[in-house]
Amino acid sequence: APVEVDEDIIALFEFGREVYDLTDGKTNYAMGSVLEIWHNYREAGNYDVSILDIHAESTSEKIAMARYFDGRINVIFGTHTHVQTADEQILPKGSGYITDLGMCGPENSVLGIKKEKIIEKFLMHTPVKFDVAEEEIKLHGAIFEYDTDKKRTVTARLFEY
């Protein structure tokens, strides 16, 4: 289940990012702590596979984070844009990666909403009640195969159902 994060913690991370930018990257408490936690758990044998969901709009952010975590996290995928990318791959240090898994929902829609409602909102510039589209449900994603002996992802492939 998702963990609820207190608004003060979120504000602290935002402050940390500002300080990171102001110091040209010399102050980076967040990533150092995250990496230490992952390292300690991995060394203690507390998990077999690590997975990172990068929920971001920008493909460049997702690709940069994937390159940064390559070899440290086993499977890295992006979400948020609802459009499946065709760049599934194994990165040089063994992490499986795709920029965006895609959408699970009505194919003939605008992000799951009846397309007519979204078009009306764009054309009329007025608030419109969003109705969920229900026809032609699709599931997009990727399947990653991980070799526990080699400790690396060995295949990555798209699927649509």
**Region 129-154 average pLDDT:** 93
Mention every residue, 6+ apart, whose C-beta is less than 8 A from residue 91.
Answer: 66, 67, 70, 71, 76, 97
For 57-71, write each residue's pLDDT tens digit. Answer: 889 889 999 998 899
DSSP secondary structure letter of residue 45: T
Sign of torsion, CA 93 95 96 99?
negative
Query: Percent of the chain scored above 70 by pLDDT?
Result: 91
SS3 137: strand
Query: Closest Cα partner for 57 from 85, 78, 32?
Result: 78
**Pairing, β 89-90 against β 96-98:** antiparallel
- Of 11-20, 28-37, 152-161, the range with the lowest mean pLDDT is 28-37
Mutual orientation of helices 7-22 and 29-43 as an angle, nearest 10°? Answer: 110
CA distance 142 to 154: 13
